[in-house]
Structure 1
C-alpha cells in the first residue's frame, strides 16, 4: 500500500474518485495482472483534516495521475454536471447536480428557473426540461469555494437523453467569467413492458373430449343468426334515403367536448389533472380524425414536425399545436398539477388551436377557381 499527501490545499475527494473510475483499467495493462491497492490521502493545510480515497486496482503511476489531476483543478474556476441516477424514465423527474469551484472572493450565479405557469418550462439543459432548483450553502476553504445546486428536470427523449451543458457565471470585482459544464448522456428506460420470457409448459397426456356435435350445432345457429342480422342491417341501410345518412363532424365534436369542460370547473388537484388530460385527448383526437395524422401515437415534437410538413396546415398553426400540447404532456406524464385558472387557460388555447387548424384545412379543401380568360380583341 502506498500513500501520497497533498499539502498545497484542500482538494475535492469526489473528483479524485471520478478520475479513479476513468483510469482504473489502462489500455496498456495486460489482462489478469495483479495490481496492488493504492491509497491516496489528501490533507488540507488550514484545518489539518485529511480525506482518504481507497483506489483498489491502481498502480503507483495511475494514483500519481489522480493526484496531479486533483491538484491542477484546485485553484482554477471549474464547473461540473452530475446526473444523480444511472438511468431515467421518460416523463419521470430526476435530479442533476451542478458544482462550481472558484476562488474564495468570487460569487456564482446559477441559471434562474422561471415560475411555472402551466406552460412548458422555458429553461432546458439539452434534452432535459428544468422544473425547479435547490441551492445549497457554499463550502469554503482557505484557497477555494465550492457552490452547488440541484436541478429537478424531466425528459421525454427516447433511448438516451443528452443533459447539459449548463452555463453559469462567476463574478469577481465587477467582472463576469462565464463557465459551462460538459454534457452528460443518460440512458432512458422504455415505459413499455415486454412479454415475460417464460418457457411453455411441457405437453401432458391427452384427455378424452366429449362429443363436439352440440358445439357445432350451436355455432351453426349462431352463424346463421349473424348472417341474417347482417342482411337485415344492410337492407335497412340500402332502403334509407341518402340524405338521412349523417356523420359527426370532428371539429363540431371537439368543440362540444370543450364546451362540456366549460361547465365543469376543477376545484381539486386531481380534478385539474383530469381536466388537462381531457383537453389533451380532445386536441389529439381532432387532429387524428380531421387531418389524418397519427396524433394518438406520436410525441408532441413528432406531431409538430408532421403538421409542418403537411401543406394543408400553416407553420403558425403547427406551432400553436406544440404550444398547447407541451404543458399537457407535463401533466399527463410528469404529474405537474397547475392551478385551476392555468388549466382553464390551456382549455382556451386548445379551442384557438382547433379554430386555426380547421380554418387551414377548410381553406385547402376549397376548389381553385380558374383565372378569368381574356377574350381577344376584335
Structure 2
C-alpha cells in the first residue's frame, strides 16, 4: 500500500472552469471512495461498486423512495478510511448502515452551494448520520492501493464477488474530452433495459460504441455471447479492460466474453496493427461482420462533430454486417443556457434528432433505418435518478441489397 506523500492535497477535488461532473458521482456521498491509482495522465482513479437490485430490492427501494427524489439515494460506494487506520490499523468498513441499522442520508443539493448559489463540491463528506450522536468518521481521506488491491478488496469485503455487485473504476470531475472515464445515467438506463429484456440479447454478438468505463458492455455480457466493447484512447481502454477483469464473477455463469478494442469514429477502418494496444485481429473483424446483431451507444451525444462521426460510423458498420442489426441509443436531454440564443436550449439533443431524422429518411438503395422511442417505465436495476430527460431509442438497420 502506498499513501500520498501529502494527504492534504487530496482532501478536496479541485474543479476548473472546464470541468464536468456526472450526476451519478455528484449525488453520491463520497465518504467511501477508494482511490486505487493514478492513471497514465495523472488523474485519480476511484473504485466504486454498484448493486444490481433484485425484485425484492426494487420493491423496497420504490417504497422507501415514494414521494422522494433519487437525488438523496446512496449508491454502494466502497470504503472510507477509518480512524483505526489513522493509528496504523487497516480498519475499512462498508458503511451502508450504521450499527443501529439506521439509514445514512445525504443533505440536499443546497448543502453544496455557496452563498451566491454557485456549486461548491468538497472532498469531505456532506452527510447526516440519522440516529447516531457521533459520526463514526471524522474525515475521509482517499488512499492509493497500487499493488494487489483486487486481492485486498476481496479479502476485506466478503460480498465483493456477489452476483448482484458490479465494480467499476472511474475518474471524477474531468474535462469534456475525458467524460468517458466517468459513469453516466445513460449507461445505467441502457443496462436496466438489458436486464429487463434479457431474452432479446441472449447469445448475441454485440458491439458497443463509446463504451467509456465499460459498465453497459459488462452487463450485456451477462446474457450475450460476445461483446466488443470499444472506445478510443489507450488510457481509457486500459481502465475499461481493468473493469472487465474486476467483474469476471458476473460473466462466468453465462459464459459471456467482453473484448475491449479500439474503434475511432473518425477513421474508416478497424485497426489490425498488432503494435497498437487493443487492436483487432483478423478473426475478430470477421466475427464482428458475420455475427453482430446489436449495437449499443450509451449517452455519447454531447458534441456535434462527434455525433456526426458516430452516425457515419453506424451507417458504415451496419452496411458491412451480414445480418440485420438493432441499435439501442440512450441519451440525456441536457438543458444549457447559450449566449447565441440567449435562452435555455438543448443544442446537443437537437443535433442528435437532426442526425436521426436524416438516417431515417436516407434513400440510397442500400440501407433502410427505422427508429422509435422505448418507454422508460421498465424497472430500475440500479440506484440512480431516472429523470424525464433520459430517453432510449431503438433503431433497426436492414440491408436492401
- TM-score, normalising length from structure 2? 0.23
If asked which structure has higher relative contact order (CA below 8 Å, sep 6+), I would say 2
- TM-score, normalising length from structure 1? 0.24
Normalized per residue, the structure richer in helix is 1
Structure of greater Rg? 1
